Structure 1
Amino acid sequence: MKPVKLLITLSLALAWAGAATAQAQEKPIRIGWVYAMANAPAVIADRKGYFKEEGVNVEIKSFGDGPILQQALSAGDLDMAYIGAPPVFQWYARGLNSRILAKVNYGQAAVITQANSSIRTVADLKGKKIAGVAKGSGMDVLLRGYVLKEAAGLEPDRDTTIVNMPAGNMPAALDRNLVDAAFTWEPFIATALLRGNTRLVLDVNQAIPQYPWYIVMAMPRTLAQRPDDIVKVLRAHRRAIDFLNKHPDEANQIIAEAFEIPTVKTADGREIKPVEVVREARKRIGWSDRIQQNDVQFIQQLMNYSRALGFLNKDLRATEIIDTTWQQRAEKAPAKH
Structure 2
Amino acid sequence: MNARRVLATLALMALTAGTAACGGDTASGEGGSGGGTAATEVRLGFFPNITHATALVGVEKGLYQKDLGVPVKTSTFNAGPAAIEALFSGAIDATYIGPNPAINAWQKSKGKAIKIIAGAASGGVSLVVKPEIKTVEDLKGKKIATPQLGNTQDVALRYWLRSKGFKTDTKGGGDVHIVPQENAQTLQTFATGDIDGAWVPEPFASRLVLESGGKVLQDERDLWPNKQFVITHLIVRQDWAKAHPDLVKKLLQAHVEANKLINDDPEGAAQTANAAIQKLTQKPLKPEVLKSAFKNITFTNDPIASSLTASAQHAEEVGLLEPVDLNGIYDLKPLNEVLAAGGQQAVSDK
Is the TM value for this pair above 0.5?
yes
Within the candidate set 44, 49, 61, 2:62 is matched to: 49
Distance 2:190 2:68 in 1: 47
The alignment yields a C-alpha RMSD, in angstroms, of 2.2
Equivalent AA in structure 2 for residue 77 of structure 1: A
Distance 1:132 1:50 in 2: 34
Greater shift after overlay, 236-245 or 276-285?
A: 276-285
Aligned pair in 2 of structure 1 residues 289, 123: CA closer, same or farther (>3 Å)? farther
- Which residue of 2 is the match for residue 89 of structure 1? 103
- Which residue of 1 is the match for residue 244 of structure 2? 226
Work out whether residues 123 and 153 of structure 1, in 8 Å CA contact, stay in contact via their aligned partners in 2. no
> Secondary structure of 2:216's match?
strand
- Which residue of 2 is the match for residue 267 of structure 1? none
- Which residue of 1 is the match for residue 89 of structure 2? 75
For residues 102-181 of structure 1, the aligned pairs below 5 Å read: 102-115=118-131, 117=132, 119-145=133-159, 147-150=160-163, 152-157=164-169, 158-181=174-197
Matched, 1:256 2:270: no
Structure 1's consecutive aligned runs of 4 or more residues displaced over 6 angstroms after TM superposition are none
For residues 192-271 of structure 1, the aligned pairs below 5 Å read: 192-195=208-211, 197-208=213-224, 209-260=227-278
Work out whether residues 122 and 300 of structure 2, in 8 Å CA contact, stay in contact via their aligned partners in 1. yes
Work out whether residues 48 and 56 of structure 2, in 8 Å CA contact, stay in contact via their aligned partners in 1. no
Matched, 1:305 2:331: no
Distance 2:236 2:200 in 1: 27
- Which residue of 1 is the match for residue 9 of structure 2? none
Work out whether residues 127 and 199 of structure 2, in 8 Å CA contact, stay in contact via their aligned partners in 1. yes
- Which residue of 2 is the match for residue 314 of structure 1? 323
Aligned pair in 2 of structure 1 residues 312, 194: CA closer, same or farther (>3 Å)? closer
Aligned pair in 2 of structure 1 residues 320, 112: CA closer, same or farther (>3 Å)? same
For residues 291-302 of structure 1, the aligned pairs below 5 Å read: 291=303, 295-302=304-311
* Residues 183-209 of structure 1, C-alpha deviations (whole Å, 9 max, x = no match): 111112222222361111111123320
Greater shift after overlay, 122-131 or 160-169?
A: 122-131
> Secondary structure of 2:209's match?
helix
> Secondary structure of 1:162's match?
strand
Work out whether residues 33 and 83 of structure 1, in 8 Å CA contact, stay in contact via their aligned partners in 2. yes
Matched, 1:276 2:288: yes
Equivalent AA in structure 1 for residue 256 of structure 2: R
Aligned pair in 2 of structure 1 residues 320, 155: CA closer, same or farther (>3 Å)? farther
Work out whether residues 117 and 236 of structure 2, in 8 Å CA contact, stay in contact via their aligned partners in 1. yes
Distance 2:142 2:239 in 1: 46
Identity of aligned residues (%): 25
Aligned pair in 2 of structure 1 residues 61, 311: CA closer, same or farther (>3 Å)? same
- Which residue of 2 is the match for residue 31 of structure 1? 44
Within the candidate set 319, 327, 333, 1:325 is matched to: 333
Distance 1:32 1:139 in 2: 21
Equivalent AA in structure 1 for residue 207 of structure 2: T
TM-score of the superposed pair, with normalisation by structure 2: 0.78
1:307 deviation in Å?
2.0
Equivalent AA in structure 1 for residue 80 of structure 2: G
Alignment coverage as a number of residue pairs? 296
1:25 deviation in Å?
6.5
* Residues 109-153 of structure 1, C-alpha deviations (whole Å, 9 max, x = no match): 1111123x2x223443222111112212222222222x3223x33
Distance 1:316 1:123 in 2: 35
Work out whether residues 57 and 276 of structure 2, in 8 Å CA contact, stay in contact via their aligned partners in 1. no
Work out whether residues 303 and 316 of structure 1, in 8 Å CA contact, stay in contact via their aligned partners in 2. no
1:217 deviation in Å?
0.7
Equivalent AA in structure 2 for residue 288 of structure 1: T
Larger Rg computed on CA atoms: 1
In structure 1, list runs of 5 or more residues that go unmatched: 1-22, 264-272
> Secondary structure of 1:242's match?
helix
Work out whether residues 190 and 208 of structure 2, in 8 Å CA contact, stay in contact via their aligned partners in 1. no
Distance 2:68 2:306 in 1: 34
> Secondary structure of 1:104's match?
strand
In structure 2, list runs of 5 or more residues that go unmatched: 1-35, 344-350
Distance 1:279 1:84 in 2: 22
Aligned pair in 2 of structure 1 residues 126, 322: CA closer, same or farther (>3 Å)? farther
1:164 deviation in Å?
1.9
Aligned pair in 2 of structure 1 residues 24, 113: CA closer, same or farther (>3 Å)? closer
Work out whether residues 56 and 277 of structure 2, in 8 Å CA contact, stay in contact via their aligned partners in 1. no
Distance 2:83 2:53 in 1: 17
